[in-house]
């Protein structure tokens, strides 16, 4: 029996407003259930003192809802302080890695010049190469703690609304792709060490958590550098086939996401038309704002937006 989503679902397509909830009615008969959808945002930012970061997000949500850009008031699910701090620390090390490399290389040359020890030179050079290789691997896995934290947050939220169907949206720039692949069931490719990190998720009663109806990933990053649980030995075509098997779709435009959703049977054809009209209206609105700034070319303004 196909379920009708009556609670929060992580679903939204390109600013296209979905049907709002019907007005409250009083009746002795069973109410007529209509398809509805709500929004929930998985944030990588941890909970701050006095809801500082959450308040800023909800103020933005209120403006978008008042303008009709959001059909409902979303729910914001904060991230984990531990995972966010780990990713931030690793990201800072990688960001300043060229400077660290220069300092280490200078220290290595000074040691060689002072001691003239061949064994020490070989040991230091091997340690330098090993550290460089380790940091190169970290470049891809820097957002893994955030991705796995989002998996746990998603499943805890899903347990509260187990009667609802979920659709996951994200991008491939940080840990959203890894989160979507794990939620969709493609995590059998995870290494044993990575699976051990997921044991707390499975032991918290989430074994029966169902996969999302579909996972849509906005391609904003080079696919060769994205964080994924699929083996690196897979070719690009094999990875695409494996993701399609789990209803994981990449898109570059909101209209492309709507087409994939239509082909998956999630939305009707008229919804694809609404998304297309909304995309055109956004481009026209951006064009009007660009005309006010005569000092900048339209192409530059488009890249900024």
d(CA 5, CA 34): 8
Q: Which of 142-156, 205-219, 253-267, 284-298 has the lowest mean pLDDT?
A: 284-298
Residue 77 has pLDDT above 80, yes or no: yes
Mean of pLDDT values over 19-39: 54
**CA-based nearest residue to 17, from 76, 72, 74:** 72
Q: What is the pLDDT of residue 263?
A: 93
Total-model pTM:
0.67
Name the 3-class secondary structure at 227: coil
String of DSSP letters for 135-167: HHHHHHHTTHHHHHHHHHHHHHHHHHTTTS--E
Where is pLDDT greater, at 169 or 128?
Answer: 169
Report the relative pairing of strands 167-171 and 40-46 from DSSP bridges: unpaired
């Amino acid at each position: 029996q196909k379920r009708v989503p009556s609670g929060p679902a992580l679903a939204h397509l390109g600013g296209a407003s979905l049907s709002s909830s019907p007005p409250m009615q009083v009746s002795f008969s069973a109410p007529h259930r209509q398809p509805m959808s709500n929004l929930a945002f998985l944030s990588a930012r941890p909970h701050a003192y006095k809801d500082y970061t959450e308040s800023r997000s909800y103020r933005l949500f209120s403006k978008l809802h008042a303008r009709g850009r959001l059909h409902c008031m979303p729910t914001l699910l904060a991230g984990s302080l531990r995972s966010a701090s780990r990713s931030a620390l690793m990201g800072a090390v990688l960001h300043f890695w060229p400077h660290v490399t220069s300092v280490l290389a200078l220290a290595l040359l000074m040691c060689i010049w002072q001691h003239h020890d061949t064994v020490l030179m070989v040991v230091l050079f091997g340690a330098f190469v090993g550290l460089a290789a380790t940091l190169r691997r970290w470049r891809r896995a820097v957002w893994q703690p955030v991705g796995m934290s989002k998996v746990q947050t998603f499943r805890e939220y899903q347990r509260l609304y187990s009667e609802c169907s979920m659709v996951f949206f994200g991008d491939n720039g940080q840990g959203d792709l890894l989160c979507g692949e794990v939620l969709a069931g493609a995590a059998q490719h995870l290494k044993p060490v990575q699976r051990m990190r997921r044991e707390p998720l499975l032991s918290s009663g989430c074994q029966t958590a169902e996969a999302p109806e579909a996972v849509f990933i906005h391609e904003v990053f080079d696919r060769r550098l994205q964080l994924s649980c699929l083996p690196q030995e897979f070719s690009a075509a094999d990875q695409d086939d494996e993701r399609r098997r789990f209803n994981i779709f990449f898109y570059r435009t909101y209209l492309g996401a709507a087409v994939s959703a239509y082909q998956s049977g999630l939305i009707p054809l008229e919804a694809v038309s609404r998304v297309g009209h909304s995309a055109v209206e956004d481009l026209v609105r951006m064009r009007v704002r660009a005309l006010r700034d005569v000092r900048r070319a339209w192409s530059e303004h488009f890249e900024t937006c």
